[in-house]
Amino acid sequence: MTGQPGDPPPDEYVEAEIQSMLAEDPSVAEQGITVVCRERGLVLYGEVESPHRREQILRRVAERFPDVPITSDIGVTRTQPPSQVEELP
């Protein structure tokens, strides 16, 4: 039986809320982060443009969901020049 006052929300709704927050929170505004529910909590993965943004995401999610264990696998996209060219004859 679910839906009793005080029950934690089902994981799927938590995932949805985190995804919305990541996209809509002006301090985050990331649409490229995926939230996946694993046995030991939620995993966030994807890539962002700076280490600052990664920290910001984790901070905002932890503030909003202090009881949900979160693992981060968010990378910072590399910006080196290309080593190869694609020939399109």
For other proteins, the binding residues (CB under 8 A) are 26, 29, 31-32, 34, 46-47, 49-50, 52-53, 77-83, 85-89
Specify the residue, 3 or 26, whose C-beta has the smaller distance to other proteins. 26
User: Minimum Å distance from CB 7 to other proteins?
Assistant: 27
Q: What distance in Å separates the CA atoms of residue 65 and residue 44, rounded to the nearest whole number?
A: 13
Task: List phi, psi (to 5°) of 85.
Answer: -110, 145
**What are the DSSP calls for 18-63, one per residue?**
HHHHHHH-TTT--SS-EEEEETTEEEEEEEES-HHHHHHHHHHHHH
Specify the residue, 3 or 89, whose C-beta has the smaller distance to other proteins. 89
User: Minimum Å distance from CB 74 to other proteins?
Assistant: 11
Contact residues for 11 (Cβ-Cβ < 8 A; gap 6+): 37, 42
User: Minimum Å distance from CB 24 to other proteins?
Assistant: 10
Specify the residue, 8 or 32, whose C-beta has the smaller distance to other proteins. 32
